[in-house]
Amino acid sequence: MEEYRSDLRYATTFPGLSILPDQRRILVEGKEIYLTHHEFDMILFLARHPGQVFSREQLYEAVWDDIPVSVYAKVMCMISSIRQKLKSCTDKEYIQTVWGVGYKFDPGT
């Protein structure tokens, strides 16, 4: 299995997934998927911390600049949207729910 590698200026890659922050592009199984600004920031943040569990509040603070109105709903909708877009190209889940806590990025799933 390939090892995770990341350079904060360049690509973050895993088997079947490449995130290119300098181009704001994401490739899944070689196919580009289109994410909104916040969706891209969310998956990049999670991918740069594989295996680390983040609460919804931590994810919100990492991606949005405004004062939270409904952190739970915003983060949940964002994760759901990212999962749907990833699912169009791969069977891998990548973003795992950690019940009662939040979410984590798992490139092995």
Q: Is 20 left (phi over 0), alpha (psi -120 to 50) or beta?
A: beta
Percent of the chain's residues with pLDDT above 70: 89
Token look-up 């990548």 returns: 94
Cβ neighbours of 20 (radius 10 Å):
15
Token look-up 């299995």 returns: 1
Q: What is the pTM of this model?
A: 0.81
Residues β-bridged to residue 69? none
Distance of alpha carbon 29 from alpha carbon 67, whole angstroms: 36
pLDDT at residue 2, rounded to an integer: 40
Domain range for 94: 5-105
pLDDT at residue 66, rounded to an integer: 72
User: Quick check: 70 and 92 in contact, CB under 8 A?
Assistant: no
- How confident is the model over 53-74, as pLDDT tens digits? 999 989 988 888 776 667 778 8
Nearest to 96 by CA among 39, 51, 56: 51
- How confident is the model over 92-105, as pLDDT tens digits? 989 999 999 999 99
CATH number, domain of 68, equals 1.10.10.10
Number of domains in the chain: 1
Residues β-bridged to residue 54? 103
Using CA atoms, how far residue 55 sits from 1, 20, 51, 62, 99, in Å, is 28, 25, 13, 11, 10
pLDDT at residue 67, rounded to an integer: 67
- How confident is the model over 38-58, as pLDDT tens digits? 999 999 999 999 999 999 989
